[in-house]
């Protein structure tokens, strides 16, 4: 199975002025977009949230690989010059397949998240929370231990967090109770750093920090992912010239109320949202 790569076809514009294609299963990846806008304000971004099929977190590798290649096809049809997989689940399960199948360069969020954690920890005990699929893949353990072989990793799936975020229950006693239920064992394990290993979770940052207290640093992938993308663009000679890149947002299902909440929280100034159907990938035998 291999995605078409329209970026390899003649594009109507010069390579550097083409957009960065960013995607997530839903609106969570907008937390990464906020960091990209801050570090790379001259880059235009085409964001695709696969809201018709969210959540990805309980799905199989085969399904997540297929979704990822389908979305890559859509982003490449927008002439994306680079791809950002702003979803830990898709990074954990499908980034290698994407990089094998598509020549356009791509970055994921797990390496950058692991880097942030290794920089933050002092005692070497790191907690990681994510979707069931991300945690079962052990991708964070591999990325963390590749950077710092002696770290002790405590990984935990928190599948109720994504629906709570998508429901907009960011400050709610029900969410606080779920945070307490999931995170008590991690807090008691003596970690000093927690990685938010799902791009939806930064929306819960304040409530998680309130529960864990000031002794535990909370990190996510967003800032380091933007740094990784900047390095990639520089290496490939793809940095955009100007200072005011555009942000276009498309979803595979009509927007729910949470998009407005996310937009306001992240200060992204999202205007009209497009709706896109994802094409099936070409099968090559
Ligand atoms: N935001 C996604 C992640 O970073 C996944 C959420 C989901 O679709 O389950 O893993």
Read off the pLDDT of residues 150-191 as tens digits, 9 standing for 90 and up.
999 999 999 999 999 988 899 999 999 999 999 999 999 999
Q: Domain check: are 245 and 211 in the same one?
A: no
pLDDT at position 11, please? 58
From the CB of 222, is ligand 1 less than 6 Å away? no
- Does the C-beta of 21 come closer than 6 Å to ligand 1? no
Give 28 Cα–ligand 1 centroid separation in angstroms: 7
Instruction: Looking at the structure, tell me whether residues 267 and 236 fall in a common domain.
Output: yes
> 209 is in which domain, residue-wise?
110-222
Ligand 1 atom at minimum distance from 130 CA: 10
Instruction: Examine residue 14 and state whether it is found in any structural domain, yes or no.
Output: yes
| Distance from residue 63's CA to the centre of ligand 1 (Å) | 14
Whether residues 169 and 150 fall in one domain? yes
Q: What pLDDT is recorded for position 284? A: 33
Whether 136 and 84 map to the same domain: the answer is no
Edge-to-edge strands, sheet with 217-219: 152-157, 125-130, 193-196, 217-219
Query: Is 235 found in the same domain as 158?
Result: no
Same domain for 205 and 229, yes or no, is no
Same domain, yes or no, for 88 and 229?
yes
Residue 278 has what pLDDT?
85
Cβ proximity of 172 and 207 under 8 Å: no
Spacing, Cα 186 to ligand 1 middle (Å): 20
In a domain, 114, yes or no: yes
Same domain, 27 and 53: yes
CA of 12 to the centre of ligand 1 (A): 33
CATH of the domain at 266: 3.40.50.1860
Decide: 28 in ligand 1 pocket, CB within 6 A.
yes
137 in contact with ligand 1, CB cutoff 6 A:
no
Residues 148 and 101 in one domain: no
HEC profile of 100-154: HHCCCCEECCHHHHHHHHHHHCCCCEEEEEECHHHHHHCHHHHHHHHHCCCCEEE
Query: Is residue 199 within 6 Å of ligand 1 at its C-beta?
Result: yes
Q: For the chain, which ranges sit under pLDDT 50?
A: 1, 6-10, 282-285
Do the beta carbons of residue 87 and residue 25 sit within 8 Å? Answer: yes
Residue 191's pLDDT is what? 98
pLDDT of residue 257: 85
Q: Which residue has the tokens 């490449």?
A: 76
283 inside domain: no
Closest ligand 1 atom number to CA of residue 197: 4
Q: What angle do CA 89, 110, 116 make, to 5 degrees?
A: 140
In a domain, 133, yes or no: yes
Report pTM: 0.91
| 196 shares its domain with 230 | no
252 lies in a domain?
yes
Same domain flag for 32 and 94: yes
Domain total in the chain:
2
* Boundary-marking domain end, from 205, 222, 239: 222
Same-domain check for residues 27 and 168:
no
Question: Is 198 labeled as catalytic in the residue annotation?
Answer: yes
């Amino acid at each position: 199975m291999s995605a078409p790569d329209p970026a390899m076809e003649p594009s109507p514009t010069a390579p550097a002025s083409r957009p960065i294609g960013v995607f997530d299963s839903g609106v969570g990846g907008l937390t990464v977009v906020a960091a990209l806008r801050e570090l790379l304000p001259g880059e235009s971004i085409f964001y695709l949230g696969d809201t018709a099929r969210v959540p990805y977190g309980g799905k199989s590798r085969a399904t997540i690989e297929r979704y990822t290649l389908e979305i890559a096809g859509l982003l490449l049809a927008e002439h994306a010059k680079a791809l950002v997989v702003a979803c830990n689940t898709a990074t954990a399960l499908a980034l290698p397949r994407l990089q094998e199948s598509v020549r356009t360069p791509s970055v994921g969020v797990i390496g950058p998240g692991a880097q942030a954690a290794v920089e933050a920890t002092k005692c070497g005990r790191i907690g990681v929370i994510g979707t069931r699929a991300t945690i079962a893949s052990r991708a964070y353990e591999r990325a963390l231990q590749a950077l710092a072989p002696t770290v002790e990793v405590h990984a935990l799936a928190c599948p109720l967090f994504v629906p709570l975020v998508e429901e907009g229950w960011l400050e709610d006693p029900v969410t606080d109770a779920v945070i307490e239920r999931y995170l008590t064992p991690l807090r008691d394990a003596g970690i000093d750093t927690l990685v938010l290993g799902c791009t939806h979770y930064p929306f819960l940052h304040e409530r998680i920090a309130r529960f864990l207290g000031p002794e535990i640093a909370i990190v996510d992938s967003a800032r380091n992912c933007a740094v990784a993308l900047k390095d990639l663009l520089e290496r490939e000679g793809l940095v955009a010239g100007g200072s005011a890149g555009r942000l276009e947002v498309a979803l595979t299902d009509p927007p729910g109320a949470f998009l407005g909440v996310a937009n306001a929280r992240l200060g992204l100034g999202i205007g009209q949202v497009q709706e896109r159907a994802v094409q099936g990938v070409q099968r090559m035998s």
